[in-house]
Amino acid sequence: MSFAQGFARPEPSVLLPAPPNHLSEAALFLDLDGVLAPLAPTPDAVGPEPGRTRAVERLTLALNGRVAVVSGRTLAEIDRIVDGAARAASGVHGLERRGADGALSARDPSPAVKKAVAAFRDFAASRPGVLVEDKGLSAGLHFRQAPDAADAALALATGLAQDTGLMLQPGSMVLELKTPGADKGTAVTAFMQEAPFAGALPVMVGDDLTDEAGFRAAEALGGFGVLVGPERPTAARYRLDDVAAVLDWLGAVSANAAGVSEAQA
């Protein structure tokens, strides 16, 4: 089976509308790459941007702290890219999490992650453009700059997942083998049990297959998901075109929530 056959997104049957922006009682969970920041050729190519940082800061203030970044990146990378604007955050697909109060929690890494990193590095050594990312809790194999390596990468990652018990997490031109036991959905669920998120309307905004667990969790808790990017079969109820549309929408959410707060004062 090819990578395209294994993880291609078939044509959608339903066109999703844009999400509402009157969400003063919402809790927003935002993916990073492809949602707050454009996708880049390499992970390191994404850096802080003042407009993005201000948008997250304004949104957090307008929603009384009910904003968290939920990403496949590590917490350290999240902090670097949003320049510390996200107090609450979850990294490595739910395997590490920081609450709004600053409390940290993380799973213990599977010893098999080191085996996966070594195998990925051997694979990348003979394939220019293929990059390996060691997150401690997971191993990532990036081939955005070497798309011809996709099928071989899938075969390698699938075999390693079967041999090691690591969870295979496909993304946008990346395959990740991660410590089992958590995903973006478990992160959203955990946040919703804590202040200041508890009792709010959960909204998960994401672009990739890794975000589907977050969409499902938000829906199960009475909220909804927002897909960013092209139409595809998804658990999300709404859709936005791209990062620019996300930032415009977040600005409208912030303005409306701030207006509600002023009216209630």
Active-site annotation, residues: 31
Tell me the backbone φ, ψ of residue 141, rounded to 5 degrees.
-120, 110
Q: Specify the 3-state DSSP secondary structure of 100.
A: coil
The residue whose two tokens read 């992650």 is 113
Q: How far apart are CA 196 and CA 184, in angstroms?
A: 19
Residues in the chain: 265
CA angle 1, 31, 181 (to 5 degrees): 65
Q: Can you read off the two tokens belonging to residue 69?
A: 């970044």
Q: Tokens representing 33?
A: 């790459």
Residue 120 in tokens? 């990925």
Task: State the DSSP H helix or E strand holding residue 246, giving kind and residue range, or none if neither.
Answer: helix 243-264
Alpha-carbon distance 172 to 160, whole Å?
A: 19
CB 182 within 8 A of CB 87: no
